[in-house]
Structure 1
Amino acid sequence: MGERIAKLTKRSVDAARPEAERYVVWDGALKGFGLRVEASGTKTFLVRYRIAGRKRFLAIGRFGQLTPEQARGHAQAILADVRHGRDPLEERRSERAAITVAELANRFLAEHVGPKRKGATAVHYSSLIRRYVLPKHGPRKAHDFVRSDLARIHLSMRDRPYQANRLLAVVASMYSFAERLGLLADGCNPAARIERFPEARRERFLTMEELARLGEAFRRFENDGRFREGIAALRLLLFTGARLREILHLRWEHVDMERCLLFLPDSKTGKKTIFLNTPALAVLRSLECVGDCVIVGADPRVPRADLKKPWAAVTEAANLPRLRIHDLRHSFASVGAGAGLGLPIVGKLLGHMQASTTNRYVHLDADPIRRAADAIGETIAAALNNSSDSNPSSKSDAKRLSIPVR
């Protein structure tokens, strides 16, 4: 490859004609700045430099896309980086090899979510990433997807705060996965310090009157062959506080009638034991064993997919239009908490791994708190009325609370 020297200006670059072999015209004013002329006529600005004893050539851009003066400015910046110990060519190679958002997402879903998360959770993670992140940001380098990008997506989902917050959690997990594997440098997680939307937790507890209406609807439909199995499943959900899939996927081999237990090999929280009370046992004994699954569908060998039809029928008959199936689990917990059984016991029955999960029912665990409130209120009322004839039980409660009764 031939070499020449000339001041690189628009006139000199225009005058550089293609020859049988490519050659380089080196700028006479800026050492290391040059123009490579191909036999095809393509002209490319480049920089030559040495680092750690090795000669490097780095293309800046083509003539036409860049003017000679623009290319000179780029060359000066590159050579300044070299003087500060950086290797621009190696940095460019690293940038090209850097993982994209789409590549990271695929690895995260295949190597982390798939093997370590439940099926429904894995599907939810994949849906959030593929729907909200990949369409616009998938081709970008993962390290270029920054907090402001994710914050804009999060803000655009403000009408769906629960989904928006789950997306932040999924992206945070994805970037933590990348950092652990060394795919990205530490500290580049775009979900860090983005404030979550407040979520209004929807907790619906059936009252005794509503339970009576629901029971009447159960009795109305449970002799209908179309709904018999579904009503049995709904009764089991209400009597055990189990999750929907725990009952729909229940197999007879998991049922121990003698010890009044269900031994689930897998659940949302892993291996789980469910305690069967007398009503739940009665439901199980009423079911005919026609296959491996306790709640059979069209195919006895396959777990039933859902309870949509029986649930729609009973909620309409009981005039409970906005009640969800999961509210049966909440109602089971609310009865236990309201009876003063204690949140640790209720949490154990529900299969909660952490006490904080059961704390949503703390306002229902009110028996001692209610007595205290009554004692305080009656003591204050008696004082306001200047009465010494207050309720004896209130005096006793107030004494335990060290409240002076006048």
Structure 2
Amino acid sequence: MAQERLTKTVVDKLDPGAKDYFAWCGKLSGFGVRVWPNGKKTFVVQYRAGGRGAPTRRKSLGTFGVVTVDQARKAAEDYLASAHLGNDLVGAERKVRAEMTVSQLCDEYIEHGMDTKKASTVKTDKGRINAHIRPLLGKKKISAVTRQDIERFLSDVAKGKTARDKRTSKGRSIVTGGKGTATRTARLLGGIFTYAVNQGYLEANPRKGVKLYKDGSKDRFLNRDEIDRLLQTLEEAETIGLPWELREDAKAKHRPKEENLREVLSPHVTGAIRLLLLTGCRLREILHLRWEEIDFERGFLLLPDSKTGRKTVYLSDVAVEVLRDIPRVSSYVIAGSQQDKPRSDLKRPWQRITRHAQLENLRLHDLRHTFASIAVEQNMSLYMVGKLLGHKSPETTARYAHLARDPIQRGINEIGEMIRGKPKS
């Protein structure tokens, strides 16, 4: 790309690529813009203060659209002029930053370090920061945090030191501990310290070398009998309804009337569960699905946004039939209580359904695993399974490789039979 003076028109025309890249101004050396894969553009200044042996300094000057090109250029000129006199403003700023607390680092990470994360991930990360990281490490200077501190943090979260149950203005808030929570939060903490290293606040990441607990989550795959029980329960739920389970200690006046001993579930609920099983989609992909994103003629879901970006979901004829049977009462396929908003979850009806189907501890996400397991057992390659699930990395799909053992065994048996030949009469 030929270097030219950076102007609003030039920056506007910079297209994102598969990786981030820099476009430098041809008139002011050291002034440029960083273009991210998600389309975000950040102005930067880069220089060496004190000659060739001095470290390269780079500083973000603001996001294009929030900061103008002229404003960023003026800030870059100030940094470059100071560097020309031998002053290292960025280095001085970083020394001050190195004295920030973990809580202050978290604030900066939330503002500048989450740009490429999905909104749902940002929400989860903020929850872990406020529930675990700030209470245990928030007041500590980032330059004083050691590997031993991270190991102690991991142990404290696992033991439930930060667990709590409290009432908020929006309802009940439950914060849990456990080894799984500890491992996931420690990984987030490592990412926050990686941000600090990349910004030059620290020389090394204190999370490096800390041995984490195994996540402990197990993939569950429904067998044929369990799938049949689930489908039968869904049929019952949307027709005659599921029976109530009455509490023995409930007072008579609080018991439902005899004619209300069954509850019929919405076809949007049962339809959503069928679609999760038939498509392998993630829960939010189905709950946020709009009618306009369905191509009935070609059998596609054209999702504009998912955990891995834009995604095409291939539909079986059965899945298309399920979609056609769902009543259209909202712009969202799975209608919620509010016309213009997607349904938030399926927790309550899912508990009723799994309890009646005798599928205790079955998660909605296990339906995605079941879809993948059936695909593998039908001799579909892991590459194709990854395509169906929308995986970006083959390593993610490799978790299902062990399910292909039976087809391989059948194949090796056929080879053995061919070698052995027909028995002599």
TM-score range for the pair, normalised by the shorter chain length = 0.5 to 0.7
| Amino acid in structure 1 at the alignment position of 2:120 | A
How far apart, CA to CA, are the structure 1 residues paired with 2:404 and 2:319?
Answer: 24
The answer on 1:256 being equivalent to 2:272 is: no
- Asked if structure 2 preserves the Cα contact closer than 8 Å seen for 1:206 and 1:331, the reply is yes
Cα distance change of structure 1 residues 120 and 397 upon mapping to structure 2, 3 Å threshold? farther
The answer on 1:343 being equivalent to 2:382 is: yes
Question: What is the alpha-carbon root mean square deviation over aligned residues?
Answer: 2.4
| Amino acid in structure 2 at the alignment position of 1:340 | N
Q: Which residue of 2 aligns with 1:322?
A: 361
| Amino acid in structure 1 at the alignment position of 2:183 | N
Q: Which residue of 2 aligns with 1:216?
A: 232
How far apart, CA to CA, are the structure 2 residues paired with 1:397 and 1:174?
Answer: 59
How far apart, CA to CA, are the structure 1 residues paired with 2:302 and 2:95?
Answer: 52
| Amino acid in structure 2 at the alignment position of 1:353 | K
- Displacement of 1:178: 1.5
- Displacement of 1:97: 7.5
Q: Which residue of 1 aligns with 2:125?
A: 125
Q: Which residue of 2 aligns with 1:105?
A: 106
Cα distance change of structure 1 residues 397 and 250 upon mapping to structure 2, 3 Å threshold? farther
Q: Which residue of 1 aligns with 2:210?
A: 194
Alignment deviations for residues 362-387 of structure 1 (CA, whole Å, 9 cap, x no partner): 11112442136647xxxxxxxxxxxx
Residue of structure 2 aligned with 1:284, choices 315, 323, 335: 323
Alignment deviations for residues 179-214 of structure 1 (CA, whole Å, 9 cap, x no partner): 2222x1322x11000012123341111110111111
TM-score when normalising by structure 1: 0.67
Q: Which residue of 2 aligns with 1:176?
A: 194
- Asked if structure 2 preserves the Cα contact closer than 8 Å seen for 1:242 and 1:350, the reply is yes
Q: Which residue of 1 aligns with 2:416?
A: 394
Cα distance change of structure 1 residues 206 and 138 upon mapping to structure 2, 3 Å threshold? same
Residue of structure 1 aligned with 2:202, choices 169, 172, 185: 185
- Displacement of 1:233: 0.5
How far apart, CA to CA, are the structure 2 residues paired with 1:230 and 1:196?
Answer: 38
Residue of structure 2 aligned with 1:233, choices 272, 286, 295: 272
- Asked if structure 2 preserves the Cα contact closer than 8 Å seen for 1:371 and 1:397, the reply is no
Secondary structure at the counterpart of residue 301 of structure 2: strand
Secondary structure at the counterpart of residue 188 of structure 2: helix
- Answer with 173-182 or 133-142: which moved more: 133-142
How far apart, CA to CA, are the structure 1 residues paired with 2:308 and 2:98?
Answer: 39
How far apart, CA to CA, are the structure 2 residues paired with 1:193 and 1:372?
Answer: 44
- Asked if structure 1 preserves the Cα contact closer than 8 Å seen for 2:303 and 2:310, the reply is yes
- Asked if structure 1 preserves the Cα contact closer than 8 Å seen for 2:383 and 2:394, the reply is yes
- Displacement of 1:226: 3.7
Cα distance change of structure 1 residues 96 and 348 upon mapping to structure 2, 3 Å threshold? closer
- Asked if structure 2 preserves the Cα contact closer than 8 Å seen for 1:262 and 1:274, the reply is yes
Secondary structure at the counterpart of residue 263 of structure 1: strand
- Displacement of 1:336: 0.5
How far apart, CA to CA, are the structure 2 residues paired with 1:125 and 1:288?
Answer: 36
Secondary structure at the counterpart of residue 189 of structure 2: helix
| Amino acid in structure 2 at the alignment position of 1:394 | G
- Asked if structure 2 preserves the Cα contact closer than 8 Å seen for 1:227 and 1:310, the reply is no
- Asked if structure 2 preserves the Cα contact closer than 8 Å seen for 1:347 and 1:355, the reply is yes
- Displacement of 1:321: 1.4
Secondary structure at the counterpart of residue 404 of structure 2: coil
- Displacement of 1:315: 1.1
Q: Which residue of 1 aligns with 2:138?
A: 138
- Displacement of 1:102: 1.1
| Amino acid in structure 1 at the alignment position of 2:229 | R
Q: Could you list the runs of 5+ residues in structure 1 that have no partner in the other structure? A: 1-90, 376-392, 400-406
Cα distance change of structure 1 residues 158 and 136 upon mapping to structure 2, 3 Å threshold? closer
How far apart, CA to CA, are the structure 1 residues paired with 2:388 and 2:229?
Answer: 25
- Displacement of 1:95: 6.1
Q: Which residue of 1 aligns with 2:256?
A: none
Cα distance change of structure 1 residues 278 and 152 upon mapping to structure 2, 3 Å threshold? same
- Asked if structure 1 preserves the Cα contact closer than 8 Å seen for 2:385 and 2:397, the reply is yes
| Amino acid in structure 1 at the alignment position of 2:417 | K
Secondary structure at the counterpart of residue 366 of structure 1: helix
| Amino acid in structure 2 at the alignment position of 1:185 | L
Alignment deviations for residues 221-257 of structure 1 (CA, whole Å, 9 cap, x no partner): 1235642210000011111010000000001111111
Alignment deviations for residues 144-198 of structure 1 (CA, whole Å, 9 cap, x no partner): 112111110112234622222212211111111122222x1322x1100001212
Identity level (%): 37
Q: Could you list the runs of 5+ residues in structure 2 that have no partner in the other structure? A: 1-91, 160-177, 242-263
| Amino acid in structure 2 at the alignment position of 1:138 | G
Alignment deviations for residues 243-278 of structure 1 (CA, whole Å, 9 cap, x no partner): 000000001111111111011111111111100111
Secondary structure at the counterpart of residue 274 of structure 1: strand
| Amino acid in structure 1 at the alignment position of 2:197 | E
Matches within 5 A, 1:78-97: none
- Asked if structure 2 preserves the Cα contact closer than 8 Å seen for 1:236 and 1:247, the reply is yes
Cα distance change of structure 1 residues 352 and 97 upon mapping to structure 2, 3 Å threshold? closer
Q: Which residue of 1 aligns with 2:395?
A: 356
The answer on 1:154 being equivalent to 2:154 is: yes
Q: Which residue of 2 aligns with 1:166?
A: 184
- Asked if structure 2 preserves the Cα contact closer than 8 Å seen for 1:243 and 1:329, the reply is yes
- Asked if structure 1 preserves the Cα contact closer than 8 Å seen for 2:267 and 2:326, the reply is no
Q: Which residue of 2 aligns with 1:204?
A: 220
How far apart, CA to CA, are the structure 1 residues paired with 2:127 and 2:146?
Answer: 21
